[in-house]
Structure 1
Amino acid sequence: MKKISELLDAAAGGALPVVRGIDDSRLEDPTPCAEYDVRALISHLVQVVVNFTALAARKDADFGETPDAVVGDWRRRFGEETAALVEAWAAPGAEEGTAGSMGFPARTVGQMVLGDLTVHAWDLARATGQEFVPDADVVDEIAPALAGMAPRAREAGMFGEPFPVPDGASPFARVLALTGRDPGWQPSRA
């Protein structure tokens, strides 16, 4: 079993080129997350990364108001924040016990941010016309983890109802569908 930090490093490696590849002209474009345009989804993802860095260090996280993260050199900052996330989860003991006020096992908390980073990287790639292929080990880790979290995540409004996919769908398409996403989503053309 790979460490969460190794998996997060792979997931960040896939997400960074997507974030760096977002042109400012695309910030108001829709994403597969109906409640977020590209700018809002970037801000949400940065907030998730920062908060789960804190949770790895057993600090409190603030998921309240989402500040606009698309200011200054936001692409560089995203790289710095994901590097800090990987480092926090690589610290000795980060995967042991429970993390933060959530009371979940630390590895489960790590799987949550791994899922968010991977799925939202796909969301941003789809919204901005970029390619995104997640790391196979990351998908192997998040598929059963997110399946276990799905009922609670749906109750909390974080996942939509499962999207139907054909029997031969890829493991990542199944992950996307589990979260309520259409793996074939494309931005509408004006």
Structure 2
Amino acid sequence: MNPDLGPATRYVAELIARVHDDRLTGPTPCPAYTLGDLLDHVNGLSYAFTLAAAKSPVPGGSQGPSGDASRLPDGWRESIPERLAGLADAWRKDDAWDGMTEAGGIQLPGQVAGLVALNEVVVHGWDVARSSGQPYEPPAEAVEACIGFLGRSPGEGPFGTPVPVPDDAPPLDRLVGLAGRDPGWRTP
């Protein structure tokens, strides 16, 4: 059975709606991104993976959704959550998980694309929470699905080199470590 992205996207949407403007220029666990850049990245990946679920190409060509705070749309506290809701809806269709699709300029099976989308939401949700000083307790099922996905390939993953964490660490810390982040990272 394919995971439902809805609980994770709703949770991250609520985090995003509570981000204060004074945090947008602050650092994130993603060294190249400010929080504003990261929010733009979440906006772009939500769009790209919604199209990937429908097997539709990105108009104008596909490239990885980089982050640039200057592209945040007016009303981003509403529009990014709407995009996240659309992402979850798109992946509720069984055929989204079948066949081949494209996201970020990469051809991949629908099954993999859906898990990448979930992982992007859950891990970047952690990034947003840490950067904005909010607590983060995503749905346990989503965390476990992401651990299963990232844990399949040892070594460098899509987010970089994994950070070692104790075997008995909480699941979210293990996921964050697999995603190349230090679970102890806090906003300076």
Same fold? TM cut 0.5: yes
Q: Indicate the residue corresponding to 1:71 in structure 2.
A: 73
Any idea what SS the aligned residue of 2:166 has? coil
**Which whole-Å CA distance do the structure 2 matches of 1:31 and 1:152 have between them?**
20
Counterpart in the other structure of 2:126: 122
The answer for the alignment partner of 1:60 in structure 2 is 57
Deviates more, 1:158-167 or 1:52-61: 158-167
Aligned partner of residue 103 in structure 1, secondary structure:
strand
In the alignment, the residues of structure 1 paired with residue 24 and residue 94 of structure 2 have an alpha-carbon distance, to the nearest angstrom, of 38
Task: Give me the whole-angstrom Cα distance separating, in 1, the residues matched to 2:55 and 2:26.
Answer: 36
Deviations 1:127-171 (A, max 9, x none): 111011011110111111112256463xxxx42222121232011
Q: Which runs of 5+ in 1 are unaligned?
A: none
Identity of aligned residues (%): 33
> What is the CA deviation profile of residues 77-133 of structure 1, one whole-angstrom value per residue up to 9, with x for unaligned ones?
012101111121123411111222633221110000100100101101001110110
Match of 1:177 in 2: 177
Matches within 5 A, 1:128-167: 128-149=132-153, 151=155, 153=157, 158-167=158-167
Q: Name the structure 2 match of 1:87.
A: 89
Task: Please tell me the residue identity of whatever aligns with 2:148.
Answer: P
3-state secondary structure, aligned to 2:95: coil
Secondary structure at the aligned position of 2:28 is classed as coil
2:23 is aligned with what amino acid? Answer: R
Correspondence for 1:108? 112
What SS does structure 2 have at the residue aligned with 1:148? coil
Measure how far apart 1:48 and its partner are.
Answer: 0.6
**Partner Cα distance (2:98, 2:134) in 1:** 36
Larger mean CA deviation between 52-61 and 65-74 belongs to 65-74
For the 8 Å contact 2:36–2:72, the answer to whether it is kept is yes
Question: What is the one-letter code of the residue matched to 2:140?
Answer: A
What's the counterpart of residue 38 of structure 1? 35
Between the aligned partners of 1:109 and 1:64, the Cα distance in structure 2 is 13
Equivalents in 1 of 2:178, 2:57: separation in Å?
Answer: 28
- Cα distance in 1 for residues equivalent to 2:186 and 2:160: 18
Is contact 2:50-2:90 (8 Å) kept?
Answer: yes
Structure 2, gaps ≥5 residues long: none
Distance 2:11 2:182 in 1: 20
Give the length in aligned residue pairs: 181
Within 1, Cα distance between the matches of 2:129 and 2:65?
25
TM-score calculated relative to the size of structure 2: 0.88
TM-score by length of 1: 0.87
What displacement does 1:71 show?
2.6
Counterpart CA distance in 2 for 1:105 and 1:13 is 25
What one-letter code is carried by the residue in structure 1 that aligns with 2:9? Answer: A
